[in-house]
A and B are shown apart, each in its own frame.
Chain A
């Protein structure tokens, strides 16, 4: 007997969304296990490794890849460079979803996820993490406001409200840039309290400045990446002209970054560590070569700035390198207690390797984010500004 498997239209989904849904579902299941049995049941975190894959991937990486939002908002609204309007909404959406992913990830990672809002009422003003918490929560609100019009434009009844928001968007944009500056840099500041644990090739009092500078480069690369992937998936044109300009800015930013970084190493007298630190040196040079040198060289060539494939390649490599930097600073280059003889033996775990469930949670959340991006882009006017002038100030 032949099975009649005609699915109703809305259930017919492509392979990619299906995969993303499955990954997200796995993450949900693992999260449930975490809530039932504790973080230790599904991860390799321990006394020596309180932070691992989740913090490096979900928090550090998640936040930095959302930096395109404030960059485009600042460019379009503050600097009034209207030609970048088409890139604004996707960047804001990327940022909004990025920060939501961070929040969701924290709901799994925190010991008391239901108390996440305590950061709004209990304040320890010396804590970098508090600053990040408050900034991220506030900025999520700002992003929601900045993105709200996109949703509202879908519903004629809400057009007036959308217009209203447009009119008073400026203070929010400024607030958004300030908040972003604060928390993008503060992620670096998180490590300031561990001078003896983070390797001298990375630890410096100007970590916040370095993090902010590289966040700009990451934001630019992310916009290129997101545009390239969206254009391929949704089969739309690519704003190559605009992306070329972004790509031109990347080497500038990274040269500044490199100058600050190496200048700081010289001032601190830490140049000696560059080649003598074993694996730390390897990781350092990997991060510099991949995330700084390569993009500077690559995007200095005009050909690479205008060719879609070259753009994508350059962006991906830049991101990999700078994300490696985030992993180095938050995990790989951090000294965890040495394997000295420990008693009782349940304290002896001084090695850490993320478990499959740990990684699955992060990947699942990330998948949900991509899925959300795709759905929102499909049903809401995220890409509508292409080829149109901006509305600012109307």
Chain B
């Protein structure tokens, strides 16, 4: 536990019994108000026709992405990605624009729509239980999971473990560890017996999805300077041209006066 270079979670959908101990533990550990939650369940639930049924649910919280889209999108930089994994939100900078909620492909940031001007409306999301993981404990959700559907450890180790588990039980899992490469990699890894969309996970490419946005943003200043230069040149050119024209016109104007006299 002390040798964790990059903190991560591993969720095994075949072990999850949807008991929600993790959710209660998180709420208690982090003192979450009754009408809010940092961790929730999604998925198709029970599918099929009686008696050929299947169950697919997943426990969600922040994916602690390697290339967090919330961090990329936030105008005031209220999100940071620690070197050892957790993505942290800082309410002191937040202006409540909710762009992070749009940017996050997993719908993680939760905005407090019930707070007025005085209390202030902020975002809430999983913090990776820093008060626990930096004190030799597991995150609250992981520790209490009765079936070890949620596990915690070093990211590389968990990925290795996940692949080993897939290999040890051929046919049980989709041969893919979600989060290994999705969106450039996340720190919440998932093993599943059903296609990941059925758990409510979006299909994402390996390249981080903020790539295009950041590339375009990087062009802003060069573009602005260039465009400004062009406009300056144009306006100077047009001004010059007009002066020439006016000059000629003034000359022409003067001439007829002379000739007509």
Contact = CB atoms under 8 A, between A and B. Distances in A.
Query: When A and B assemble into the complex, do they touch directly, with CB atoms less than 8 Å apart?
Result: yes
Contacts of B44: 340-341
Contacts of A128: 73, 213, 216-217
A17 interface: no
Given A35-B116, A193-B210, A196-B209, A177 B231 contact: yes
Contacts of A116: 95
Contacts of B231: 74, 78, 174, 177-178
Interface string A245-261: 00000000000000000
Q: Which of A36, A45, A78, A192 is most buried by chain B, counting CB atoms within 10 A of its CB?
A: A192
Contacts of B77: 122-124, 127
Interface in B87-125: 93-99, 101-103, 105, 107, 110-117, 120-122
A175 B231 CA distance: 9
Contacts of B94: 111-112, 115
A354 interface: no
Contacts, number: 203
B187 interface: no
A106 to B, nearest CB: 8
A81 B183 CA distance: 50
B75 interface: yes
Given A112-B95, A122-B93, A341-B44, A131 B220 contact: yes
A178 B227 CA distance: 7
Contacts of A263: none
Given A111-B120, A126-B214, A133-B75, A340 B42 contact: yes
Interface in A355-378: none
A36 B116 contact: yes
A278 interface: no
Given A193-B69, A337-B107, A80 B242 contact: yes
A327 to B, nearest CB: 15
Contact of B40 (A77, A112, A192, A343): A343
Interface string B37-77: 10011111100000000000100000000000101111111
Interface stretch (A47-55, A157-165, A292-300, A312-320): A47-55
A190 to B, nearest CB: 8
Contact of B96 (A37, A110, A127, A343): A110
Nearest to A343: B41
A131 B218 CA distance: 11
Nearest to B77: A124
B212 to A, nearest CB: 5
A114 interface: yes
Interface string B191-232: 000000000101110000110111011101001100110011
Contacts of B224: 178, 182
A111 B95 contact: yes
The listed residue with most B CB atoms (<10 A of its CB), out of A74, A77, A127, A133, is: A127
Contacts of B71: 124
B76 A122 contact: yes
B251 to A, nearest CB: 19
Interface residues of B, number: 67
Interface residues of A, number: 70
Given A193-B73, A340-B42, A125 B217 contact: yes
Contacts of B101: 47, 50
A14 interface: no
A94 interface: no
Contacts of B200: 337-338, 340
A167 interface: no
B195 to A, nearest CB: 13
A197 interface: yes
B160 to A, nearest CB: 28
Given A195-B209, A197-B105, A126 B217 contact: yes
B235 interface: yes
B20 A343 contact: yes
A343 B121 CA distance: 23
B117 to A, nearest CB: 4
Contacts of A112: 94-96, 120-122
Chain A CB within 10 Å — which of B95, B110, B117, B204 has the most?
B95
25 contacts: A38-B114, A38-B115, A40-B114, A48-B107, A50-B101, A78-B234, A80-B235, A111-B111, A112-B120, A119-B76, A119-B95, A122-B77, A123-B77, A128-B73, A129-B75, A129-B97, A174-B235, A190-B99, A193-B102, A193-B209, A197-B105, A205-B216, A341-B44, A344-B40, A347-B40
Given A40-B113, A51-B102, A393-B239, 15 more contacts: A47-B110, A74-B231, A111-B115, A111-B121, A127-B75, A175-B228, A178-B224, A182-B224, A194-B209, A196-B204, A205-B212, A337-B42, A342-B41, A342-B42, A344-B37
User: Shortest 8 CB-CB distances between A and B: which pairs?
Assistant: A111-B96, A40-B113, A130-B75, A111-B121, A124-B77, A50-B98, A50-B101, A122-B76
